[in-house]
A and B are shown apart, each in its own frame.
Chain A
Amino acid sequence: NAGVTQTPKFRILKIGQSMTLQCTQDMNHNYMYWYRQDPGMGLKLIYYSVGAGITDKGEVPNGYNVSRSTTEDFPLRLELAAPSQTSVYFCASSAGRRGIQETQYFGPGTRLLVL
Chain B
Amino acid sequence: QKEVEQNSGPLSVPEGAIASLNCTYSDRVSQSFFWYRQYSGKSPELIMSIYSNGDKEDGRFTAQLNKASQYVSLLIRDSQPSDSATYLCAVNIGGTGRRALTFGSGTRLQVQP
Which residues of A come within 8 Å of B, CB atoms? 31, 33, 35, 40-45, 48, 50, 56, 58, 90, 96, 99-109
How many Cβ-Cβ contacts under 8 Å join chain A to chain B? 55
Which residues of B come within 8 Å of A, CB atoms? 4, 8, 31-32, 34, 42-46, 49, 88, 90, 92, 96, 98-106
Whether the Cβ atoms of A90 and B99 lie closer than 8 Å is no
Taken together as a complex, chains A and B put the C-alpha atoms of A90 and B44 apart, in Å, by 9
Of A48, A90, A103, A105, which is within 8 A of B100 by CB?
A48
User: Knowing A101-B31, A101-B92 touch, does A43 contact B44 (C-beta < 8 A)?
Assistant: yes
CB distance from B98 to the nearest CB of A (A): 8
User: Knowing A42-B103, A42-B105, A58-B100 touch, does A103 contact B46 (C-beta < 8 A)?
Assistant: yes
Whether the Cβ atoms of A106 and B43 lie closer than 8 Å is yes
Taken together as a complex, chains A and B put the C-alpha atoms of A100 and B95 apart, in Å, by 9
- Give every chain B residue within 8 A of A108 (Cβ-Cβ): 42-43
